[in-house]
Amino acid sequence: MEDYTQINRLFDDLRGLVTDPLQVDALEGKYFGEGFPTHEFSYMSGMTDALDLVKILKDRPKGFDTIKELGDKLIEVLVERGYRQDILTQQEHVLGGSSGSGIGHGTLNPHEHPYAVGGVLSGDITVGEARVARALEMYSGGIGKHWGLDGWVTVLLGPIDDQGNTMGEPKVVDPKDNDRVTADKLIDDAPYKQK
């Protein structure tokens, strides 16, 4: 997607469809400014960021179609820049409060391979793509009690081996200082704790 003409047209169209065009400018700057890509994005950011504009639409039926089209295009930009779906492991999903990765196809069961990146396990992405995407997103959320902490925590997406499995236990980092690890061991009864 080297030609951004269509995306530029969608941003221009949206400026006329909303009550606050500065929010459209801010969204465009977020994706096409100097700070992109960043760990603040994920594969679904394109759609969720675009959908945030729904609340300021003047004409929802017409504007919603434009927002949906823009969201689809922003996801294409994210994919082009290395973001991917399903980059967490079964363990990371469960530590974040989810029931699991949701993988329903492929030959391997995520419960039997809890440290394997879901998209690698299902065959949807390569180990190389998973490494790039995990480095781009860098963090996930987690429930602190699994590390003996209170509240919601920021979890560093650790490195993966050549089979797409995480190496070591997930680490909790200080969200204000990403280099400062605040917990590096799961409690004994945490889900999928490595023995």
Do residues 134 and 118 lie in contact, with contact meaning Cβ atoms separated by under 8 Å? no
Q: What mean pLDDT do residues 44-62 have?
A: 92
**Residue appearing with tokens 């089979």:** 163
- What pLDDT shows up at residue 107? 57
Helices and strands per DSSP (H, E), number in the chain:
7, 4
pTM of the model: 0.86
Q: Maximum distance among all alpha carbons in the chain?
A: 58
**What's the chain's average pLDDT?**
90
pLDDT at 161 (0 to 100): 97
Q: Computed from CA positions of residues 123, 126, 131, 135, in that sequence, does the dihedral angle turn out positive or negative?
A: negative
Q: Residue 113: pLDDT band by 50, 70, 90 thresholds?
A: confident
Residue 190 in tokens: 């945490």
Give the residue extent of every domain in the chain: 5-80, 90-183
The arithmetic mean of pLDDT across residues 32-56, rounded, is 90
Q: Establish whether the linkage from the previous residue to 170 is cis, with ω within 30° of 0.
A: no
Cβ–Cβ < 8 Å for 87, 133:
yes
- Three-class SS of residue 66? helix
- 74: nearest Cα among 11, 125, 137: 11
